[in-house]
Amino acid sequence: MSHPFHDLRKRFESISNEQTGYTTCKLREWIEDHLGHVLAIKPDAEFNGTMMQGFHWYSDGDGQHWNRLAADAPALAAAGISGIWFPPATKGFGGVNDVGYGIYDLFDLGEFPYPNGQVRTKYGTREEFILAAESCRNHGIEVYADVVFNHKMGGEFQEEYEAIPVSFSNRNQELGPPRMIRSYTGFDFPARGNQYSTMKWRWQHFSAVDYNSLDPGFKAIWRKVDKPFNAEVDWENGNYDFLMGCDLDVDHPEVRGELVHWGKWMLEAAPIAGFRLDAIKHIEGDFFNDWLDQLEAYAGRNLFCVGEYWTTKLDTLSWYIGNTGGRMHLFDAPLQNNFHHASRSGGAFDMRTILNGTLMKEFPLYAVTLVENHDTQPLQALEAVVEAWFKPLAYAIILLRSEGYPCIFTADYYGANYTGKGRDGQDYSISLTRHKAIIDILLLARRMFAHGPQHSYLDHFNCIGWTRVGTAQHPHALAVILSDGPAGTKWMDVGKPLASFQDITGHLHHIIHSNADGWAEFHCNGGSVSVWVEQHEGLSELL
Ligand code: CA
Tell me the CATH number at 208.
2.40.30.140
Rounded mean pLDDT of 100-122?
97
The string of pLDDT tens digits covering residues 510-542 is 999 999 999 999 999 999 999 999 999 999 888
Ligand 1 centre distance from Cα of residue 256 (Å): 13
Q: Is residue 47 part of a domain?
A: no
Backbone angles phi, psi at 438, to 5 degrees: -70, -35
Q: Is residue 46 part of a domain?
A: no
Task: Pick the catalytic residue from 278, 332, 362, 375.
Answer: 278
Q: Is the pLDDT of residue 336 over 50?
A: yes
Q: What is the share, in percent, of the chain residues with pLDDT greater than 90?
A: 81
Which three-class secondary structure state does DSSP give residue 183? Answer: strand
Q: Is residue 1 part of a domain?
A: no
Rounded mean pLDDT of 147-154?
97
Q: Is residue 356 part of a domain?
A: yes
**Residue 521 annotated to the active site:** no
Task: Pick the catalytic residue from 98, 308, 372, 403.
Answer: 308
> CA distances (Å), 133 to each of 127, 260, 438, 505, in order?
10, 21, 27, 32
Ligand 1 centre distance from Cα of residue 209 (Å): 10
Count of residues in the chain: 543
Q: In this structure, are 262 and 353 located in the same domain?
A: yes
The string of pLDDT tens digits covering residues 477-509 is 999 999 999 999 999 999 999 999 999 999 999
Ligand 1 centre distance from Cα of residue 282 (Å): 4
Ligand 1 centre distance from Cα of residue 227 (Å): 12
For 230, half-sphere exposure in the C-beta direction (CA atoms, 13 angstrom radius) is 24
Hey, what amino acid is at 230? N
pLDDT at position 15 is 35
| pLDDT band at residue 294 using 50, 70 and 90 as cut-offs | very high
pLDDT at position 36 is 40
Cβ distance 512 to 520 under 8 Å?
yes
Rounded mean pLDDT of 214-226?
95
Ligand 1 centre distance from Cα of residue 175 (Å): 20
Q: In this structure, are 140 and 24 located in the same domain?
A: yes
Q: In this structure, are 97 and 20 located in the same domain?
A: yes
**Residue 251 annotated to the active site:** no
The string of pLDDT tens digits covering residues 360-404 is 999 888 899 999 999 999 999 889 999 999 999 999 999 999 999
Q: In this structure, are 61 and 136 located in the same domain?
A: yes
pLDDT at position 24 is 53
Q: CA torsion sign, 471 to 473 to 479 to 480? A: negative
Q: In this structure, are 215 and 313 located in the same domain?
A: no
Ligand 1 centre distance from Cα of residue 151 (Å): 7
Ligand 1 centre distance from Cα of residue 210 (Å): 13
pLDDT at position 324 is 83
Rounded mean pLDDT of 258-270?
98
Residues lying with their CB under 5 A of ligand 1, a single-atom ion: 150, 241, 247, 282
Q: In this structure, are 164 and 236 located in the same domain?
A: yes
Cβ distance 35 to 12 under 8 Å?
yes
Q: What is the share, in percent, of the chain residues with pLDDT greater than 70?
A: 91
H helices, E strands: number in the chain: 12, 26
> CA distances (Å), 147 to each of 122, 272, 288, 445, in order?
16, 12, 11, 32
> CA distances (Å), 136 to each of 13, 92, 419, in order?
35, 24, 30
Q: Which of 248, 270, 301 is the last residue of a domain?
A: 248
Long-range contacts of 348-351 (CB under 8 A, 24+ apart): 349/484, 350/461, 351/458, 351/460, 351/461, 351/462, 351/463, 351/464, 351/482, 351/483, 351/484
Q: Where are the alpha helices (DSSP H) in 272-387?
A: 287-299, 314-323, 333-344, 359-362
Q: Is residue 419 part of a domain?
A: yes
Q: Which of 408, 443, 478 is the last residue of a domain?
A: 443
Q: Is residue 45 part of a domain?
A: no
The string of pLDDT tens digits covering residues 418-451 is 999 988 889 999 999 999 999 999 999 999 999 9
Q: In this structure, are 382 and 306 located in the same domain?
A: yes
pLDDT at position 370 is 98
Hey, what amino acid is at 437? A
Q: 439: closest CA among 473, 462, 406?
A: 406
CATH number (domain holding residue 353): 3.20.20.80
Q: In this structure, are 239 and 344 located in the same domain?
A: no
Q: In this structure, are 133 and 267 located in the same domain?
A: yes
Q: Is the pLDDT of residue 12 over 70?
A: no
Ligand 1 centre distance from Cα of residue 65 (Å): 29
Ligand 1 centre distance from Cα of residue 32 (Å): 32
Range of the domain at 397: 9-40+52-150+255-443
Q: Is 430 exposed, middle or buried (0-12, 13-18, 19+ CB in 10 A)?
A: middle
Q: Is residue 4 part of a domain?
A: no
CATH number (domain holding residue 534): 2.60.40.1180
Domains identified in the chain, total number: 3
Q: In this structure, are 130 and 31 located in the same domain?
A: yes
Q: In this structure, are 178 and 271 located in the same domain?
A: no
Ligand 1 centre distance from Cα of residue 280 (Å): 8
Q: Is the pLDDT of residue 474 over 70?
A: yes
Which three-class secondary structure state does DSSP give residue 37? Answer: helix
Judging by DSSP bridges, how do beta strands 179-186 and 157-166 pair with one another? Answer: antiparallel
Q: Is the pLDDT of residue 35 over 70?
A: no
Q: Which of 443, 467, 490 is the last residue of a domain?
A: 443
pLDDT at position 32 is 53
Residue 217 backbone class (left: φ over 0; alpha: ψ -120 to 50; beta: rest):
alpha
Prediction pTM value: 0.92
Q: In this structure, are 189 and 301 located in the same domain?
A: no
Q: Is residue 228 part of a domain?
A: yes
